[in-house]
Amino acid sequence: MVPKAARYLSPILLLIFPALSASLVREEKALDVGGAAETWKLEWKQSPVAACAVDNADAFTCPCAGFAYGEQGHVNLIRMRGDRVIERLALAPFFTRDGGWGEPILQQWPRLPEDNITVDARDLAKRAQARGLATVMDFVDYDHDGQSAEFFLQTGTRPCGKQVGVVIGVSPGRDKLHAFGSALHPGRPLYLQKQQWDALRTSAGPVKVLDRACGDQGSIKEIEIELEATGSAIRAFRIEYGCTEKRRGKLLVRKQL
């Protein structure tokens, strides 16, 4: 759920930067897809509103982790070859599950650890904008198929401030824009923490990544996610352990996702 105070058209930002929403194209990048030169764009359907804004205290809270300082609204991923649009994917459906914000939000400017809520909002807004736009489409090879034609899209957060999202792109077995699924459920978007997607990207084989530790947010279970990219699929398992005095206990279940 979006904090009400976090979603509004910031008058301070519009006063300082009146042309903030002049263009509906949020990001545009060229890439090679199977030997073909393509351009992918993130384009707002209409001017977005500020969310987790630089001049709002909510930008420093857990729900805004990874989203501050952001913009919110309906946005499409547009795939082009030359001047021709070959595909269009609405991103809104991916923001309705697993801690999602309900409506797409994309980080506009990076928030740094040294940013402080007590700093004058105008000064902080200027410094944030000077950093340049945050990169949304960071193309890498998550499924290890030899082609960097996918990117992580944060869609929500889990307590406290864990960034969760999907990987969107194309793959040899599915040349249409889609959110990557698991080997067991290829047609269902696989929602993982960013650190888990990053671990999969850099792994040379099966990798286990902590999802929730004993005692984290009062948890009585320790949970690991086991991942492996084979080039044709992503194998994913959820492994649960009991907790004894906030330490991992016996194995409870190992379930394929």
- Using one digit for the tens of pLDDT, what is the confidence trace for 59-70? 999 999 999 999
Torsional class of 41: left (φ above 0), alpha (ψ -120 to 50), beta (otherwise): beta
Q: Verify that 110 and 231 share a domain, yes or no.
A: no
Domain containing residue 244: 204-257
CA atoms lying within 13 Å on the CB side of residue 132: 3
Residue 108 lies in a domain: yes
Q: Verify that 112 and 210 share a domain, yes or no.
A: no
Residue 7 lies in a domain: yes
Residue 83 lies in a domain: yes
Residue 191 lies in a domain: no
How far is it, in rounded angstroms, from Cα 83 to Cα 120?
Answer: 44
Tokens of 14: 């519009």
Predicted confidence at residue 115, as pLDDT, reads 87
How do residues 30-59 score in pLDDT, each as one tens digit? 999 999 999 999 999 999 999 999 888 889
Q: Verify that 130 and 23 share a domain, yes or no.
A: yes
**Mean model confidence pLDDT for the chain:** 89
* Residue at a domain's end among 78, 105, 137: 137
Residue 184 lies in a domain: no
How do residues 100-151 score in pLDDT, each as one tens digit? 667 999 999 999 988 877 678 888 889 999 999 999 999 999 999 999 999 9
Predicted confidence at residue 121, as pLDDT, reads 80
Determine what percent of the chain is predicted with pLDDT higher than 70. Answer: 89
Across-strand partners of 106? Answer: 71
Predicted confidence at residue 100, as pLDDT, reads 65
Q: Verify that 20 and 127 share a domain, yes or no.
A: yes
Output 115 or 98, whichever has higher pLDDT: 115
How far is it, in rounded angstroms, from Cα 60 to Cα 107?
Answer: 14
1 pLDDT above the threshold of 50 = no
* Residue at a domain's end among 137, 170, 192: 137
Please say whether the beta carbons of 43 and 75 come within 8 A: yes
Rounded average pLDDT over 172-185: 94
Q: Verify that 127 and 32 share a domain, yes or no.
A: yes
Residue 133 lies in a domain: yes
Torsional class of 62: left (φ above 0), alpha (ψ -120 to 50), beta (otherwise): alpha
Predicted confidence at residue 99, as pLDDT, reads 63
200 pLDDT above the threshold of 80 = yes
Predicted confidence at residue 252, as pLDDT, reads 96
Helix (H) or strand (E) run with residue 129 in it: helix 121-130
Predicted confidence at residue 216, as pLDDT, reads 85
Helix (H) or strand (E) run with residue 79 in it: strand 75-81
CA-based nearest residue to 92, from 110, 72, 66, 62: 72
Name the domain count of the chain: 2
Residue 171 lies in a domain: no
Rounded average pLDDT over 69-81: 97
Predicted confidence at residue 2, as pLDDT, reads 46
Q: Verify that 17 and 130 share a domain, yes or no.
A: yes
Q: For residue 173, what are the contacts with CB-CB under 8 A and spacing of at least 6? A: 232
Predicted confidence at residue 55, as pLDDT, reads 87
Q: Verify that 239 and 120 share a domain, yes or no.
A: no
Residue 148 lies in a domain: no
**Measured on CA atoms in the order 90, 70, 96, 216, is the torsion positive or negative?**
positive
* Residue at a domain's end among 87, 118, 137: 137
